[in-house]
């Protein structure tokens, strides 16, 4: 059980995996390339499927104290505000999925994970970049950027969408720019007219753009994500300080709930959205990919971090119950590949729906609008999300039989 496990990357996926493994009694060391641990100043939707895992890892109650519990997920027309659908969350989600649906600041979730890892003596090293690995049937050697070489029994690559270890495993392949950028920002709620932002996951859809807003920290802060299609991204970096005037201009003429929020905002970040085709392989001997390193996805279902959280629990469970490390990793891949591939592709499809930019997308919106007129779109939208939010990996694994 003292298996010596190295994790590359201390993002939400790496820290969640470290916690899940340390809880199972493994000795875990995390190497993070940045000198200082920071998560981008933005929010995260934590759906019930992710909350089941955080509950099992013993941090759900702390997460709840820092979060905001939205009432519904509502999609509306960018100009008129007409509802396409409203899916109840709040008590309804808790009752239906047996776990809350929450909104949390990334920094808060990251801090909670970090503190829980430290309590379990996970060792975290900053400013340490993992470069590649080599393995034989006996040994796994991990090469660091400073030419140091480590030995471990298992390497978990939670090193994000630009994963170096994925390159080492499968050969280098750059992620694809999706032709979309996302502005992200957080604003104090008291800078906005009271009641302007509804206590929902608010989604506004319009031509070539969409906009999302929701509360964080019990309602103290409002988070927004504004996505726009753009032909290219020239910068080397994947994110940079955004130009607030450009953002306000891009959403000029949208519903006042969007434009008033933006006119009260004075800073934001701009991100390029990248994507990869679903992979057929995530494991190689004693090495496994996890989170965005193996299944990055467009944020249009708010499931990227949730999938990394589910992966973490699955991987730790497989390592406890399988007969060998290799068998455990294969089991982990078999368990996770189909679900993450499905969600990756489903998130891509939402771009067409949210941006009114294909005849299929426009036809779907017209159907939703017609169904909304007769009160049926809410049911249809809820059904589309049930298989994502209603999935409980903790229960699924508890029910497994091992011989
Ligand atoms: C606009 C936007 C909104 C989103 N909203 C949501 C949402 O509401 N809900 C949700 O579930 N998901 C959301 N996501 C997706 C989510 O942010 C990601 O899926 C999640 O953060 C992935 O976590 P990760 O730990 O796998 O990767 P990352 O967060 O990328 O972490 C990787 C870590 O590895 C480190 N690293 C990289 N290379 C190396 C190396 N060679 N050696 C050592 N360390 C290394 C990096 O510095 C980083 O700390 C959103 C994404 C975007 C862009």
Spacing of C-alpha 255 from chain mean position: 27
* 154 belongs to a structural domain: yes
The CA 202 to ligand 1 mean position distance, Å, reads: 23
* 95 belongs to a structural domain: yes
CA gap 202, 224 in Å, rounded = 9
Helix, coil or strand: residue 229: strand
Q: Which mutation among 6, 125, 160, 269 tests ligand 1's pocket best, with the greatest number of atoms within 8 A of CB?
A: 160
Instruction: Tell which atom from ligand 1 comes closest to the C-alpha of 128.
Output: 43
Is the distance from CB of 393 to CB of 52 less than 8 angstroms? yes
Q: Which residues line ligand 1 (CB under 6 A)?
A: 8-14, 31-34, 44-45, 129-130, 158-160, 164, 182, 184, 225, 271, 291-293, 299, 302-306, 308
Could you tell me the CA-to-CA distances from 197 to 45, 165, 180, 189 in Å, in that order?
16, 42, 25, 9
DSSP of 17-52: HHHHHHHTT-EEEEEESSSS----S-EEEE-HHHHH
Helix, coil or strand: residue 370: helix
Is the distance from CB of 14 to CB of 158 less than 8 angstroms? yes
How many structural domains compose the chain?
1
Reading the block at residue 85, the tokens are 């659908």
Instruction: Tell which atom from ligand 1 comes closest to the C-alpha of 9.
Output: 34
Is the distance from CB of 35 to CB of 96 less than 8 angstroms? no
The parent domain of residue 66 ranges over: 4-174+276-398
* CATH number of the domain to which 100 belongs: 3.50.50.60
* 320 belongs to a structural domain: yes
Question: pLDDT truncated to tens, each residue of the chain (403 aa)?
Answer: 558 999 999 999 999 999 999 999 999 999 999 998 876 678 999 999 999 999 999 999 999 999 999 999 999 999 999 999 999 999 999 999 999 999 999 999 999 999 999 999 999 999 999 999 999 988 999 999 988 999 999 999 999 999 999 999 999 888 889 999 999 999 999 999 999 999 999 999 999 999 999 999 999 999 999 999 998 777 656 778 889 999 999 999 999 999 999 999 999 999 999 989 999 999 999 999 999 999 999 999 999 999 999 999 999 999 999 999 999 999 999 999 999 999 999 999 888 889 988 888 888 888 888 888 888 888 888 888 999 999 999 999 999 877 6
Among candidate residues 336, 358, 344, 335, the one with its CA nearest the CA of residue 278: 344
Give the DSSP H/E element, type plus range, for residue 226: strand 221-229
Helix, coil or strand: residue 371: helix
* 124 belongs to a structural domain: yes
Instruction: Tell which atom from ligand 1 comes closest to the C-alpha of 131.
Output: 41
CA gap 84, 57 in Å, rounded = 36
* 335 belongs to a structural domain: yes
Query: pTM value?
Result: 0.96
């Amino acid at each position: 059980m003292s298996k010596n496990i190295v994790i590359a990357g201390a993002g939400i996926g790496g820290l969640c995996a470290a916690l899940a493994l340390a809880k199972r009694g493994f000795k875990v060391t995390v190497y993070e390339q940045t000198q200082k641990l920071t998560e981008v100043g933005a929010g995260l939707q934590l759906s019930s499927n992710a909350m089941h895992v955080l509950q099992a890892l013993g941090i759900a109650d702390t997460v709840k104290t820092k979060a905001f519990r939205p009432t519904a997920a509502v999609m509306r027309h960018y100009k008129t505000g007409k509802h396409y659908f409203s899916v109840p969350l709040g008590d309804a989600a808790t009752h239906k999925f047996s776990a809350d649906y929450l909104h949390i600041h990334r920094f808060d979730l990251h801090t909670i994970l970090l503190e829980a890892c430290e309590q379990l003596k996970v060792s975290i090293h900053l400013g340490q970049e993992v470069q590649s690995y080599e393995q034989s049937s006996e040994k796994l050697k991990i090469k660091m950027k400073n030419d140091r070489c480590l030995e471990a029994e298992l390497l978990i690559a939670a090193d994000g969408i630009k994963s170096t270890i994925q390159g080492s495993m499968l050969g280098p392949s750059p992620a694809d720019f999706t032709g979309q950028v996302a502005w992200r920002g957080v604003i104090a709620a008291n800078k906005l007219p009271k009641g302007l932002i509804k206590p929902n996951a608010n989604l506004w859809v319009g031509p070539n753009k969409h906009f999302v807003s929701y509360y964080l920290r019990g309602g103290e802060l409002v988070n927004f994500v504004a996505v726009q299609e753009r032909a290219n991204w020239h910068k080397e970096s994947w994110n940079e300080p955004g130009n607030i005037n450009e953002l306000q201009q891009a959403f000029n003429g949208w519903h006042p709930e969007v434009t008033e929020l933006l006119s009260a905002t004075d800073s934001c970040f701009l991100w390029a959205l990248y994507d990869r085709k679903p992979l057929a392989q995530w494991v190689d001997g004693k090495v496994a990919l996890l989170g965005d390193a193996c299944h990055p996805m467009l944020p249009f279902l708010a499931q990227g971090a949730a999938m990394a959280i589910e992966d973490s629990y699955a991987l730790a469970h497989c390592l406890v119950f399988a007969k060998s490390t290799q068998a455990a990793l294969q089991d982990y891949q078999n368990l996770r590949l189909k679900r993450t591939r499905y969600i990756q592709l489903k998130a891509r499809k939402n771009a067409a729906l949210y941006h009114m930019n294909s005849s299929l997308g426009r036809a779907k919106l017209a159907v939703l609008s017609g169904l909304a007129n007769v009160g049926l779109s809410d049911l249809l939208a809820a059904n589309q999300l049930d298989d994502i939010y209603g999935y409980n990996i903790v229960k699924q694994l508890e029910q497994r039989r091992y011989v």
